[in-house]
Amino acid sequence: MQHPTRTLVSVDTGLDEQTVRAALPASSDIQIVGVVTGVDESWTTLQETPTDLLVVACSGYSERALFLIASVVKERPGMPIVVLAHEAPEGFLRRVFEVGADDAVRLPESPEQVNFTLQKVLVRKRAAGTLRENGNAPMICVLGPKGGTGKTVTSSNLAVALAQAGKSVSAIDLDLQFGDLALAMGVRPDKTMYDLVQSGGSLDAGKLDAYAMPHPSGVRVLVAPTRPDQASSVGPEFLREVYPLLRGASDFVVLDSSPGFTPEVISAIDNSTYVCMIGTLDTLSLKNTRLGLETLELMGYDSDRIVLVLNRADSRVGIDDDDVLAVVGRRPDIRIPSDVEVPRAVNEGRPIVMAKPDSAAAKGFRALADEFLRREGHGSVEADAGEPDQGDSAQGVRGLAGSLRSRNGNGKPPEEALGEPRKRSRLGSRRR
Ligand SMILES: Nc1ncnc2c1ncn2[C@@H]1O[C@H](COP(=O)(O)OP(=O)(O)O)[C@@H](O)[C@H]1O
Ligand SMILES: [Mg+2]
């Protein structure tokens, strides 16, 4: 079953909200997730709220509305946009289509007629293959300030553990120069992101799928270029096109990153739903973890969306959660023990959750996957492992309840949540 179309309504300043509300359909297919006034506020809300359709309501010749439409077309290609135009001069409607809106209705108009236009646009977009049912799948960016902390081991095991729970998962190696995610997973790098860029032409989900390498667990991996000199051809702009397509085609997207805050990594953080920060248990590494968390804070990244993982967390080291709290400023959410099976599994190219599912490290990685499944309103890995996917109903729970929980932490309906915007900079507030 298809979920209702999550529709965000942006009302231009100067237009009476009641005029707009009177035209909105009361159809069960259209779920109004927010009615927001002003371009800035609409833009921010769009980043934070899973949205399938944008309605832009404006009055007269509105440059603000044109700007909003153009920005959404650029940043969220494939998002259907319908304009409700009150007292619009002819030239304005022409401009609306020029900047990329899909359709326009003159107000006042009956909700039935507006509904007809919305459905028409949705059908056309779906037919064009640009609208996905699930285009806002959570994207998890695995970060660690230094090399060797376990980012790649964590990314590969997290991706596979999510796949073992019956989810469709895409993984991307953002360590563009020295990426080894394919190696750690035992995926043949027949095609890499470099080949994808070189292939030219427009990008769509089908093409992306053809360049994603399959892993036996079902994870599809976008492999880093094989040579460091090829890395520069895969820039943040290209990746920004890739993310929404992957998020439309999978239940989860996992990004393995390079050490440090490269432009690709910053852009990935900016586009992510969660950051999974990896630290290891020694004082020097914890200091780096703190610096990494401080950088995220400077970027305005919501700390609720960060999951702190302590890798190689052995009790023998003599650093407990309180010590971590003292140095890093927060307790770890997940601890992964040191385990000789981990490098062995890496060498075999078989993530430990497959190679040694009963090991303590594998349990730790499954607990990490559980953390994200729980936040997104899915069942746990342990409960789901080996079970077939629960299909649309499970996704519906994640899509509505889960996304609300991760945004608000209080399960409020979106309209209520919109009434109390959080103080965050635009950079970090994106949920895409
Ligand atoms: N929990 C662990 N126990 C034992 N070895 C580990 C563990 N986590 C990572 N390693 C080893 O540390 C090395 C670096 O891990 P990797 O994931 O490649 O780090 P990064 O991607 O952060 O550079 C690998 O050889 C890996 O096998
Ligand atoms: Mg790595």
DSSP 357-381: TTSHHHHHHHHHHHHHHHHTTPPPH
Residue with CA closest to ligand 1 atom 9: 150
- Is residue 190 included in any domain, yes or no? yes
C-beta of 351 in contact with ligand 1 (< 6 A):
no
pLDDT in tens, 52-79: 899 999 999 999 999 999 999 888 877 8
Residue 398 has what pLDDT?
Answer: 27
Is residue 409 in a domain?
A: no
Top pLDDT among 80 and 432 is at 80
Cβ contact 432:52 at 8 Å: no
* Arithmetic mean of pLDDT over the chain: 84
Considering every ligand atom, which ligand is closest to the CA of 148? 1
Predicted local distance difference test score (pLDDT) of residue 239: 93
Whether 245 is in a domain gets the answer yes
Which ligand is nearest to the Cα of residue 368, counting in written order? Answer: 1
Q: What is the pLDDT of residues 92-111, one digit of tens each?
A: 999 999 999 999 999 999 99
- Residue 286 Cβ inside 6 Å of ligand 1? The answer reads no
Mean pLDDT for the stretch of residues 198-215: 90
**What is the extent of the structural domain holding 68?**
5-131
Check whether residue 164 and residue 54 sit in a common domain: no
39 and 21 fall within a common domain? yes
Nearest Cα to 80, choosing from 136, 111, 47, 121? 121
Together in a domain, 72 and 174? no
DSSP assignment of 108-166 = S--HHHHHHHHHHHHHHHHHTT---TTTT--EEEEE-SSTTSSHHHHHHHHHHHHHHTT
Residue bearing the CA closest to ligand 1, atom 17: 150
* Residue 161 pLDDT exceeds 90: yes
Q: Which atom of ligand 1 is nearest to the CA of 184?
A: 18
Spatial neighbors of 194 by CB under 8 A, at least 6 apart, are 225, 226, 227, 230, 231, 233, 234
User: Do 112 and 144 fall within a single domain?
Assistant: no
Tell me: pLDDT of 195 over 90.
Answer: yes
Rounded Cα gap, residues 57 and 200, in angstroms = 37
Same domain assignment for residues 17 and 164: no
Say yes or no to pLDDT of 431 above 60.
no
**Nearest-5° Cα angle at 217, 215 to 223:** 30
Give residue 134's pLDDT band: very low, low, confident or very high (50, 70, 90). very low
Predicted confidence at residue 216, as pLDDT, reads: 92
**Residues 186 and 48 both lie in one domain:** no
Residue 398 CA to ligand 2 center (angstroms) comes to 30
Q: Does the Cβ of 311 fall within 6 Å of ligand 1? A: yes
**Could you tell me if the CB of 314 is within 6 A of ligand 1?**
no
CA distance 272 to 239: 12
Residues 107, 158, single domain; the answer is no
**Model pLDDT, residue 396:** 25
The verdict on whether omega for the bond into residue 108 sits within 30 degrees of 0, i.e. cis, is yes
> Which pLDDT does position 380 carry in this prediction?
67
pLDDT at 412: 31
Q: Could you tell me if the CB of 152 is within 6 A of ligand 1? A: yes
Residue 323 has pLDDT above 70, yes or no: yes
Residues 115 and 167 placed together within one structural domain of the fold: no
**pLDDT at residue 247, rounded to an integer:** 93
In terms of pTM, does the model score above 0.85?
no
Domain for residue 431, yes or no? Answer: no
pLDDT in tens, 382-411: 644 433 333 332 222 222 222 222 333 333
Convert the pLDDT of each residue in 16-30 to its tens digit.
Answer: 999 999 999 998 889
For the CA of 278, the closest atom of ligand 1 is 22
Statement: residue 309 has pLDDT above 70: yes
CATH code: domain of residue 302: 3.40.50.300
Reduced to 3 states, what is the DSSP secondary structure of residue 14?
coil
Give the span between the Cα atoms of 233 and 407, in whole angstroms.
34
Q: In this structure, are 225 and 338 located in the same domain?
A: yes
CA angle 392/396/398 to nearest 5° reads: 120
Pocket test for ligand 1, best of 342, 359, 365 (most atoms within 8 A of CB): 342
For ligand 1, what atom is nearest to the CA of residue 144? 22
Q: What angle do CA 174, 224, 195 make, to 5 degrees?
A: 130
pLDDT band at 32 (very low <50, low <70, confident <90, very high): very high
Helix (H, G, I), strand (E, B) or coil at 21: helix
CATH number at 106 reads 3.40.50.2300
pLDDT-based confidence at 284, cuts 50/70/90?
A: confident
The answer to whether position 67 is within a domain reads yes
Of 296, 290, 291, the C-alpha closest to 266 is 296
For residue 155, how far is its CA from the centre of ligand 2 (angstroms)?
9
- CB 335 less than 6 A from any atom of ligand 1: no
Instruction: Dihedral sign for Cα 225, 174, 364, 382, please.
Output: negative
Helices (H) and strands (E) in the chain, counts: 20, 13
